[in-house]
């Protein structure tokens, strides 16, 4: 089973408390989503391989660590996943970025894919799929299925808020995927929204409602 991390860091809990508030505006919402993504990226890159390299400080020769150069990719699920990209890029600036566009049909709650553009060598990369919300899990599972269809084998999924239903589905359908969750909420309501959640993440990031 892939590793599941539910973030208990005080900074993340504090920041999630702010974006849950219905009186938090678009600018602050977007900035905080970026900050949370940065902190989650820090957590999800714990196991990146390092190698030794010889350098000179102003005082002496020494051996330091550097990243072993594994190729990385960030793949946001549009739209809301785009809000997490700047924070991820800040931490892993050499990563290439792919995009998977999906919206959830409001009646069936099933994801509908409308766009997919991935780096040509995506199968050689460790992939970080990002989306703030994991509700029924349909969007995340389909996006990961798509990536596996392209040959990706090393996939992590990062979200800010998860419902227990979506988390269970993701772990069942993709047991190999490491998952980082900012907060695990209580349940889904009859419209498929996470309770207490934060509403529609895409609308809140882009100010479309």
**Which residues does the annotation place in the binding site for 5-phospho-alpha-D-ribose 1-diphosphate?**
79, 104, 131-139, 200
Position with the least CB separation from Mg ion: 202
Under the phi-then-psi rule, with left for phi > 0, alpha for psi from -120 to 50, and beta for the rest, what region is 192?
Answer: left
| Near ligand URA by CB under 6 A: residue from 8, 197, 205, 209 | 197
CA-CA distance, 129 to 72, in Å (whole number)? 11
- What is the pattern of x (binds ligand URA, CB under 6 A) and - over residues 127-166? ------x-x-------------------------------
Which one is catalytic: 20, 30, 45, 200? Answer: 200
Tell me if 167 contacts ligand PRP by CB under 6 A: no
Reported as half-sphere exposure (CB side, CA atoms, 13 A), residue 86 has a value of 10
- The token duo for 41 is 């990226």
To the nearest 10 degrees (0 to 180), the angle between helices 26-44 and 10-20 is 150
List the structure tokens of 62.
């020494």
For ligand PRP, give the closer residue by CB, 62 or 189: 189
Angle at which helix 138-149 crosses helix 164-173, to 10 degrees, equals 20
Q: What residues from 22 to 41 belong to the interface with ligand URA (CB under 6 A)?
A: none
Site string for Mg ion, 146-185 (x = CB under 5 A): ----------------------------------------
By DSSP bridging, strand 61-67 and strand 178-184 are unpaired
Nearer to ligand PRP, 7 or 188 (CB): 188
104 carries an active-site annotation? yes
Task: List the single partner that 111 binds among ligand PRP, Mg ion, ligand URA, none, CB under 5 to 8 Å by kind.
Answer: ligand PRP
Q: What is the DSSP letter of 132?
A: S
In the 8-state DSSP scheme, what is residue 84? G
Given a contact cutoff of 8 angstroms between Cβ atoms, the answer to whether 35 and 87 are in contact is yes
Considering only 5, 97, 103, 171, the residue that binds ligand PRP (CB under 6 A) is 103
Residue 201 contacts ligand URA per CB under 6 A: yes
Contacts of 27 (CB under 8 A, 6+ apart): none
Catalytic positions, please? 104, 108, 200, 203
Contact residues for ligand PRP, defined by CB under 6 A: 77-80, 102-104, 109, 111, 131-140, 166, 192, 200-202
């Amino acid at each position: 089973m892939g590793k599941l991390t539910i973030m208990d860091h005080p900074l993340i809990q504090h920041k999630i408390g702010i974006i849950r508030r219905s009186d938090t505006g678009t600018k602050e919402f977007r900035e905080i989503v970026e900050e949370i993504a940065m902190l989650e990226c820090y957590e999800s890159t714990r196991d990146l391989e390092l190698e030794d390299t010889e350098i000179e400080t102003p005082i002496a020769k020494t051996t330091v660590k550097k990243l072993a150069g594994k190729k990385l990719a960030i793949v946001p699920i549009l739209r809301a996943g785009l809000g997490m990209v700047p924070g991820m890029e800040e931490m892993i600036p050499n990563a290439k970025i792919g995009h998977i566009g999906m919206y959830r049909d409001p009646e069936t709650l099933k994801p509908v894919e409308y766009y997919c553009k991935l780096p040509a060598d995506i199968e050689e990369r460790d992939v970080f799929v990002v989306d703030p919300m994991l509700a029924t899990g349909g969007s995340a599972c389909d996006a990961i299925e798509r990536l596996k269809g392209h040959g990706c084998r090393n996939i992590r999924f990062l979200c800010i808020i998860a419902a227990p239903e979506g988390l269970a589905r993701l772990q069942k359908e993709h047991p190999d995927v490491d998952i980082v969750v900012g907060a695990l909420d209580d349940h889904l309501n009859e419209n498929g929204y996470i309770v207490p959640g934060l509403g529609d993440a895409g609308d809140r990031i882009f100010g479309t409602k």
